[in-house]
Amino acid sequence: MKTVLNRLIKHEQLSKEEAREMIINIADGKYNNSQIASFLTVYMMRSIGLDELEGFRSALLELCIAVDLKEFETIDLCGTGGDGKDTFNISTLSSFVTAGAGIKVAKHGNYGVSSGCGSSNVLEHLEVHFSNNEDFLKRCIDQAGICVLHAPLFHPAMKNVAPVRRDLGVKTFFNILGPLVNPSFPKNQLTGVFNLELARLYHYLFQKTNQKFTVLYALEGYDEISLTGSTKAFRNHGEQILTPADFGVKAISPSEITGGENVASSAEIFMNIIQNKGTKAQTNVVCANAGMAIATALQSTPQDGFEKAKESLLSGKAFEALKKLQKLSKQ
């Protein structure tokens, strides 16, 4: 580790294989918490390289508890987090709206680290059961149209990193890796990132796969479509700038999409929106993100996806997906 840290401090980059080996060694418990914290800190001060990102991803997928959900042709909606914008749980809500529109969802998520309330915090509060049992997950997708893949259950090798991340309390490159290491290897991916450089890295990475994908970066710094301004979107067929007008709506202000102060208030916002009791701004921003997920899976236009998302939310199909998941959780 000392040799690697000295190299990184000199702004050298690791090869793909070296990066892979570092994660394997961390998983094997070869480094103490101070060494892991130092390693993570380097990547807070400089950008991660493409080879490094590929190596880290390769190791985590190699070590994960994989589940076979390919029969469902799922999509994952997952952002990196770490944008510091304190929005409500947009991608989690969008996942249920997408499921309500008939697109099967394998939602990869975790507890909040850099934010107080990640997707797992809210879903746990709403009594959604977390499991890595493949039969249970298939039953969830089959009946509710969505399953939840709570990251710690699928990446046990990362137990050595969890306390360090918690103590640091700021985003690390594990935030960056989250959307790239879904253990079900979904056919479709909608991912939001917190800066443009990272969006381009993701784009390069996804181009090497056979996934249908969209990578989002809102130019005002959000890791999702915020509708507060324009959003850069990288898709299979190229790049585009999306504006609120592309979804047939008007721009909103940042204050209209802020999140709750704790898990309980975040869950309350979640339930209001999914029951179609949210504000117009909240509804539109959820439907814009769900719409892009639908457009990614169907390879359609953002406007078409938005309309399908709105129908899912307004008809109650999104709420029905949540209720079915809650019911399955109690069986």
- The yes-or-no verdict on residue 186 having pLDDT over 70 is yes
pTM of the model: 0.95
- The yes-or-no verdict on residue 116 having pLDDT over 80 is no
> What is the average per-residue pLDDT within 312-326?
98
C-alpha 256/C-alpha 39 separation (Å) is: 37
Please determine, looking at this structure, whether the domain spanning 70-329 carries the CATH number 3.40.50.1970: no
- The yes-or-no verdict on residue 215 having pLDDT over 70 is yes
Please report, to the nearest 10 degrees, the dihedral formed by the alpha carbons of residues 228, 264, 324, 183 taken in order: 70
What's the chain's length in residues? 331
Tell me which amino acid residue 93 is: L
Confidence of residue 77 (pLDDT cuts 50, 70, 90): very high
Confidence of residue 87 (pLDDT cuts 50, 70, 90): very high
Q: Are 106 and 182 in contact (CB under 8 A)?
A: yes
- Where in the sequence of the chain do the CATH 3.40.1030.10 domains occur? 70-329
List helix spans (H) across 64-184: 90-100, 119-125, 134-144, 151-154, 162-168, 173-177
- The yes-or-no verdict on residue 326 having pLDDT over 80 is yes
Question: How much is the pLDDT for 113?
Answer: 65
Please determine, looking at this structure, whether the domain spanning 2-63 carries the CATH number 3.40.50.300: no
- Where in the sequence of the chain do the CATH 1.20.970.10 domains occur? 2-63
Q: Are 274 and 297 in contact (CB under 8 A)?
A: no
Q: Are 12 and 52 in contact (CB under 8 A)?
A: no
Question: How much is the pLDDT for 209?
Answer: 93
- The yes-or-no verdict on residue 115 having pLDDT over 70 is no
Question: How much is the pLDDT for 174?
Answer: 86
Question: How much is the pLDDT for 244?
Answer: 98
> What is the average per-residue pLDDT within 178-197?
95
Confidence of residue 114 (pLDDT cuts 50, 70, 90): low
